Each structure stands twice: as C-alpha cells, then as structure tokens.
Structure 1
Amino acid sequence: MAVTIFLLIVAAGAILFIYQTFLRDKWIRQKPFPAQHEAILSCNLPIYPALGEDQQHRLKQLILLFLTRKQFYGCAGLEITDEIRITIAGQACLLLLNKGWQTYPKLLSVLVYPSAFRAERDQMQDNGTVAIARHDLLGESWSNGKVILSWDDVEKGVSDFGDGHNVVLHEFAHQLDGLSGSTNGAPPLRSNSYQSWARVFTENFEDLRHRSQRGLATVMDQYGTTNPAEFFAVATEAFFEQPWQLQKARPELFAELQAYYRLDPREWQRSTEND
C-alpha cells in the first residue's frame, strides 16, 4: 500500500509539473513581441518579410520561448545585446517553425565569441601517440547543452542568406540530430520514415563524396562529406538557403528534408522574387 501511495504521489507531481509547464509556455507565447525585436528580425533575417502572417506570428512565439529557456553568454569580451539574441534565436527557431513547441530541449546555453574561436582537440598521430591539435572554429554544437558561435560568422550568414552557408542553421541542425541520442545524421523521425531516410541520405552522402573527390560542382558544401552528421547539417543549410538549387540537384534529399521540417522554403524565395 505504501509503495502504491508513493507512486501515486510521484505521478501526481509529474502531471502537475507538466501542466504548470504547459500553462507557463502558453503565457509566454501570448506575450506581445517587442517592436524593437521585430525590427531586428526584419533587418537580420532576410526571409522574415517573406513569411506568411501566421508563420511570422509562430516564429515570434518560438523566439519568446527560446529566449526564456536559454541563456546567452558573451565570450572573449563580447557583450550580449538584443541584436545578438534575436538574430541567433530567429534563425534557430526557423528550423522549428512547423515542429511543435519544443525549443531544443537538451540545449541550455548559447556561447557567443566575437569571431572565430580556437579549440583544442586530441589528435591521433601516425606513430600512435596523441597530440593536442588547435583549430579555429566558426561554431560548435555540444551534447552537454551548449552551442558555441562566432558572431562575425553569424552576421556573415544573414548578410548573404542564400549562399548555402549559415553557421546558426548548421549548429542547430546538430542539436536536432542529437535528440535521437547520438549525432549521426538521423534525427528522431516517424517510425515509418527511417528506411527511406537511410536510403536517400546514404545515396546522397556517397554521391557528394564521389563528386567532391572528382572536383565536380556541388550545391552542398563539401564539408558535408566529413561524416553523416555533417552531411545532415550541411543539407539543412542548403535546404533553407538554396531550396530551388537543392531540389533540382537532389530531389529525393529535398523531399526528405521537406517532410522532416514540414515546410517548403521555396515559397519564401518565390514570395521575395514577386515583391
């Protein structure tokens, strides 16, 4: 009897927590979006004006949730401003536009450097020893709840939203990928989607490697040949920034990403062209 009562208390506590979280998130989504924040969005997220009114409203709701749940930290003397927070959150939440209200549940903080930052990694040498290698990075996504970004490169990404390179989209695609338990190029999918996803992504990954090795033109950045996780992140960059080119060059891959993200970025480009 005591065990039963204990379990009932635990269950009731869990239900209460979920309900309180639901109410809190609903309250956050209903808050007015500051006009100065929308001005930043319009300026620093070039496709924002092309979104439909409902999509703009939903994106702003997601941004409010994101900013409430995640902490931003400036590194190497960088002061975090509203522009930094809104610019990063706006792009990160673009990936979530039609994917419910979960804003990267494993992510706790976003660290922002003024420019490319140096990271140290253990690297195996030919003689079997391990040495410390130093690399200058534009961004990193960690499984322990951190995303690290270079603000210079965030700005470059939004200044040419259409070149297929975007460090925010790239690193937050890794966060989505990691929700499956490991970052391996296969984010959580519907149960009947894994077989098609695996076939299409494997075929396109191998084709990108083939074309890259032979110096042939590719829509996707050759960094996508590094491993399946990087392929998914690079494919996400191309999907959002160069959807027409990706759909033409890799129609099956585009269709898989369209089904996963539940949207078609070509609509936004078409809208921009018609303005």
Structure 2
Amino acid sequence: MANLLSRWFGAQRRERALRKYAIDDTLWQRTLDTYPCFGHLDDADLGRLRETASLFIAQKEFSTAHDLELTDAMIVSIAAQACLPVLNLDLDLYRGWVGVIVYPGEFVIRKTVEDQDGVVHEIEHDASGEAWEGGPVVLSWEDAQMVDGSDAYNVVIHEFAHKLDMVTGEADGHPPLFRRWHAPLDTAAFADIFDNAYDQFCARVDAVPERRWSRFERESLIDPYAADHPSEFFAVCSEALFVTPRAFEAEYPELYRLLARYYRQDPAGTGALDSARA
C-alpha cells in the first residue's frame, strides 16, 4: 500500500510540474529550429524531450552572472540540450545538484594543481563551461549559441556528459552502466573500446609536428583538447555523437557504436542499437 501511495504522489507531482513549467509552443519550435542536434528525433521523441525539459526546469535553479538577463529562451534551450543525452536513460541521473549558472561569455576558472615534482601551482584559464562534482553546471551563453552544426561543438552537451560521468564520483571517462539500459554492454567491454580509442587519439595528437598544429586543430573532427584526460575525451566525443553523428560514425565507427549504445540513441541512423540487441 505504501508503494502504491508513493507512486501515486510521484505521478501527481510530475503532472503538476508539467503543467506549471509547460514550454510555450512557439518557444519550443524556435529551440528545435535553432539546434541541429535534435534533427534525428521523431515526433514521439520530441514530445518526450519536451516533457523531460519541463521536468528539468522544475528541478533546477537557473541564475546568471555579470548582470546577464535570464530569459525563457535561455532556460528552454539549455534544458532541451541538457536533456537530450538522458532522453532514453533517466532524468534522475542529474540528481544531487540544482544550479545552472549562465555567464554572458567565457569566464575565468582558478585551480590548484600539483606538477610532477610535487610543486603546487595556482593557475587561471578561460572556460566556456564547467561541471562541478556535486555542484552546479556553469555555462557561457555566447558559447551555448555556437551550434550551427559545422563542427562537433556543443558546450551544453559537453558539460552534461561530464555530469553523467560523475554520477558515481569523479569524472574518469567511464560513466556507470546500468543493466536495465546497457546490458549486455558491461564495464569491461566499455573500457576496452573506449580506452583503446583514447590511447589511439592521444598518440595521434602527440605525433602532430608543431608546424602543422594549427591545421590539425582546424581539421580534426575531435578537438585535440580531448587528449587532456579520458573524461574530456568522453565529453568531446559525446558532442560529436549528437552534433556531427555521420562524420563521427565515418571516422570512429567503433567508438560511435559504443556511445550510441551508452546513450541508447543512434543519431546517424546506422542501426547501431539494433546490432547491439542482436
């Protein structure tokens, strides 16, 4: 009886949230038209994404910095992009934190790092996004609008991929797998494919002569920044999966199939999920 009551109250809260945070038709269509990453979704998927985005907005607290005006268009566009990776998983994977902070443009991150000799340094660098373990997601609104699909770039998807990677702790490029969604894929199989792809990409980056570096940066589908850490490789490749899926599948077919199975989406329409079930 207690479980029935719990489910009933949960359903009631969901319906109230969907009514209270319903997304305006015109604003929703404008969002879909602006962001090419939604192009692989059919009408049923888009309906589920809209509901998930409404629930996301109900659960999270949006704020801005440097006097940036927070608008409904900002909130809906960020929510829709944030919910795309979990569309066929569960919004509950974003539990445990509430803040989404939006800056007008890039912002400064200050970090303490220890070098190989054990010397601690205070460093600063500009960033377009950051996801904190157990804390907020911070985004540059200027960068969040760089979404013409000409390259594999989407700062919102990138930072929320980090959040998925952090579900069970520090981001390491190996997000937790759940039997109800990912079987028969397991942790060992994921690591075997992912780690091999990461090692090969790092070797490729290391082999680029300095005189050709600028050209490599321009022409590489995967941003060389992905070689910094397995967590960055996972996040950058997640961008590629949703933003430039056909190019990603053509250049990294095995990695494409792996991430398609993880996210349970096949944006390039290759049949990757059907093959995984066979």
TM-score by length of 2: 0.83
Q: Distance in 2 between matches of 1:257 and 1:107?
A: 25
- Cα 1:29/1:199, change in 2 over 3 Å: same
Q: Distance in 1 between matches of 2:8 and 2:95?
A: 17
* Of 186-195 and 250-259, the range deviating more from structure 2: 186-195
Q: Distance in 2 between matches of 1:125 and 1:59?
A: 43
Q: Which amino acid aligns with 2:267?
A: P
Residue 260 of structure 1 deviates from its aligned partner by: 0.9
Q: Distance in 1 between matches of 2:224 and 2:101?
A: 26
TM-score by length of 1: 0.84
* Of 176-185 and 126-135, the range deviating more from structure 2: 126-135
Residue-by-residue CA offset, 1:207-238 (whole Å, 9 max, x unaligned): 00011112266431111111111111011011
Which residue among 218, 221, 225 is the counterpart of 1:219?
221
Residue-by-residue CA offset, 1:56-109 (whole Å, 9 max, x unaligned): 101100110010000001111111111111111111111112113426113311
Show the counterpart of 1:24: 13
Contact 1:73 1:111 in 2 (8 A): yes
Residue-by-residue CA offset, 1:138-179 (whole Å, 9 max, x unaligned): 1000012200001110011x2x22410111110000001111
Contact 1:62 1:103 in 2 (8 A): no
Q: What stretches of structure 2 of length at least 5 have no aligned partner?
A: 209-215, 271-278
Q: Distance in 1 between matches of 2:115 and 2:228?
A: 19
Show the counterpart of 2:166: 178
Residue-by-residue CA offset, 1:182-210 (whole Å, 9 max, x unaligned): 31111121355211100001100000001
* SS of corresponding position for 2:94: coil
* SS of corresponding position for 1:266: coil
Aligned residue-pair number:
255
Q: Distance in 1 between matches of 2:251 and 2:223?
A: 13
Identity %: 33
Show the counterpart of 1:245: 247
Contact 1:93 1:103 in 2 (8 A): no
1:101-250 equivalent positions in 2, closer than 5 A: 101-102=91-92, 104-124=94-114, 128-156=118-146, 158=147, 160-190=148-178, 192=184, 193-215=186-208, 218-250=220-252
* SS of corresponding position for 1:66: helix
| Structure (1 or 2) with the larger CA radius of gyration | 1
Residue 29 of structure 1 deviates from its aligned partner by: 3.9
Q: What stretches of structure 1 of length at least 5 have no aligned partner?
A: 1-10, 269-275
Q: Distance in 2 between matches of 1:23 and 1:155?
A: 35
